[in-house]
Structure 1
């Protein structure tokens, strides 16, 4: 006779095995979703070369003119900002020789360089797609109209490097422009030192107006997860300012801090200021994301209205 064998709790062992196998799968799916959210892949790629307010997938002549005007305007203001540097009128310290290369240590000018970079890259993207035949773009547009089509990235054609570089520069330039305008006029600007002239207003207010215009005109999306790119850029400037202070760098009048609020002689307050800017950059990106979503929805409704009117039956 067979001895009685104790029953194994099969249900519990199966459940524990399922839980152990599900955890890696769930973590893998979360990792893949995070990678998709943070990457710079988007289809159709021709949206980086077109305006939201045109119906054709081929870059329009009006949009090309807009890109040239914006690029030349941004470059002109940037050159003027670099060439017209001078000490504040209220400066009464020892006589110093103005170092023009210190233009590059200021966060405002980092942001403005990114605006110039993204406008130049946008112009290059438009010229690239203008050189392609309209028929090929129409076929791609018909085959893949939205980024929501569930095609694995391994099978989908990758977004061109030029478009990805433009998208990254556009995202960071937009968020930095909003934060620079807010922080400068709220915390940095001192009427006794800083003059309120045309050039000052253009680089500390016109920068945000330019990027708001870009958000209203362009057709590519703004992803919420890309806020990490902008926060990383803000933290990178914080690291640069700390390194610049550590090697004995000074501002244009010889003070050890580039900005009064970013004085690394007081590391706690300086680190707090950098952290605050990183958080504000995330909120600025949220504003940009909402603005792009409103633009897309409004353009969709305006396009749907004429087609609905054409399909409506006559009432007489």
Structure 2
């Protein structure tokens, strides 16, 4: 492991990265690749994602109820995954829409030092949806799928396209992926494991009438079931760390090849304008008294010194 990777891990594993504090706050409602706070393309993208994940749930539900009981739809981890994808997709589209069209909300968020609760919830749900999608895809195609299962549209949408759309999202969004946040998908996975155990104790069956949801999660064989639970949690950690480095690569590429500096307009506070009129000579380019430096010149001068 290189020294650079070790430094990255040390920086990332600071306790300050455990929570949901992040600056700038507007990264939760913008793309990594846009230079302005609002972008029409990103707004359209978020609604396209929302429509797609809603369609995946509808197609999967209709495909299920054609053959099986509607209630059994909700016992499978795959369906938990696409449902949370739908929540994240719609929630994200609503947040970006509000940010785009309600300037009062935007100004209040930028003025406050703390991230809004809605942003924190969205961030956590996105982390869960991201890792769950990849875990479901990997486990399904490597362990559960067989020749008897039809390779149809609902199957592809819920076991492959779920990961494709979430991978695309991690390449586009602006907010970070924190290593400590792996606890969120882990808690989600543990919750499903507890649910499957309670379902077994209550005499629940799967769509084939077997007394378990998945054959690899059969609580008639608790040792085998526990291996599946812990193996899935380890897989979630591996996926999370891998996606963390993809996030770091995204940031590197954007800053290295697409970074643009916003030149801020010159703004002089009212009191300083009054002082200027009384004789204080404030340069509109280089700055003035009391250390008031023009932001635009400051950015430019820093570039020249590099």
Decide: shared fold, TM above 0.5: yes
**Larger RCO, structures 1/2 (Cα 8 Å, 6+ apart):** 1
Q: Does 1:78 align with 2:48?
A: no
Counterparts of 1:233 and 1:270 in 2: how far apart (Å)? 17
Aligned to 2:3: none
SS at structure 2 position matched to 1:85: helix
Corresponding residue to 1:48 among 28, 31, 43: 28
Q: Does 1:66 align with 2:45?
A: yes
Contact residue 35 and residue 260 of structure 2 kept, 8 A: no
Counterparts of 1:212 and 1:304 in 2: how far apart (Å)? 22
Counterparts of 2:165 and 2:18 in 1: how far apart (Å)? 25
Q: How do 1:297-316 and structure 2 match up within 5 A?
A: 297-304=252-259
C-alpha RMSD of matched pairs (Å): 2.7
Contact residue 227 and residue 285 of structure 1 kept, 8 A: yes
Moved >6 Å (runs of 4+): 310-313
Q: Does 1:37 align with 2:17?
A: yes
Aligned to 1:279: 234
Q: Does 1:57 align with 2:13?
A: no
Aligned to 1:179: 135
TM-score, scaled relative to structure 2 = 0.77
Aligned to 1:12: none
Q: How do 1:52-201 and structure 2 match up within 5 A?
A: 52-58=32-38, 60-85=39-64, 98-133=68-103, 140=110, 157-192=113-148, 194-201=149-156
**Per-residue deviation, residues 37-74 of structure 1 (Å, max 9, x unmatched):** 3212222221111111100122x111111111111111
CA gap of 1:304–1:78, structure 2 versus 1, over 3 A, is: closer
Q: Which runs of 5+ in 1 are unaligned?
A: 1-31, 88-96, 144-155
Q: CA deviation at 1:128?
A: 2.1
Contact residue 56 and residue 82 of structure 2 kept, 8 A: no
